[in-house]
């Protein structure tokens, strides 16, 4: 289980670095104008209709949670994946023997 979680943490960290690199390249392409893709933007690139359906569902069925969900979707795409990956890497990192 620990090996699988280390692999998951590695995938999350690599994904975060790829998203951060894509934001850096987009910023360079736009002449230095800072470009940061949010989680909502990234989800919309893959399946925009499902994102809109999810937002509508949250607004209609969980109105108390709507603002928290919208705030989470506004985070930079690399932030949650990178932070979760680093936390998992520390928790499931290699254990040293008794010294």
Give me the residue spans of the domains in the chain.
Answer: 1-36+77-93, 38-75
- Contact of 86 with 9, CB cutoff 8 Å: yes
User: What was the pLDDT predicted at 94?
Assistant: 76
Cβ–Cβ < 8 Å for 81, 19: yes
- pLDDT-based confidence at residue 93 (cuts at 50, 70, 90): confident
pLDDT tens, residue by residue, 49-81: 999 999 999 999 999 999 999 999 999 999 999
d(CA 3, CA 6): 5
Once rounded to an integer, what is the mean pLDDT over residues 19-37? Answer: 93
Residues 6+ positions from 8 with CB-CB distance below 8 Å? 85, 88
Quote the pLDDT of residue 37.
94
At 94 the three-state DSSP class reads coil
């Amino acid at each position: 289980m620990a090996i699988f979680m280390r692999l998951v943490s590695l995938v999350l960290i690599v994904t975060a670095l790829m998203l951060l690199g894509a934001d850096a390249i987009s910023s360079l392409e736009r002449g230095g104008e800072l470009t940061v893709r949010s989680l909502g933007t990234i989800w919309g690139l893959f399946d925009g209709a499902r994102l809109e359906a999810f937002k509508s569902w949250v607004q209609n069925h969980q109105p108390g949670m709507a603002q928290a969900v919208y705030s989470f979707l506004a985070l930079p795409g690399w932030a949650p994946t990178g932070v979760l990956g680093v936390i998992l890497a520390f928790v499931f990192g290699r254990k040293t023997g008794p010294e």
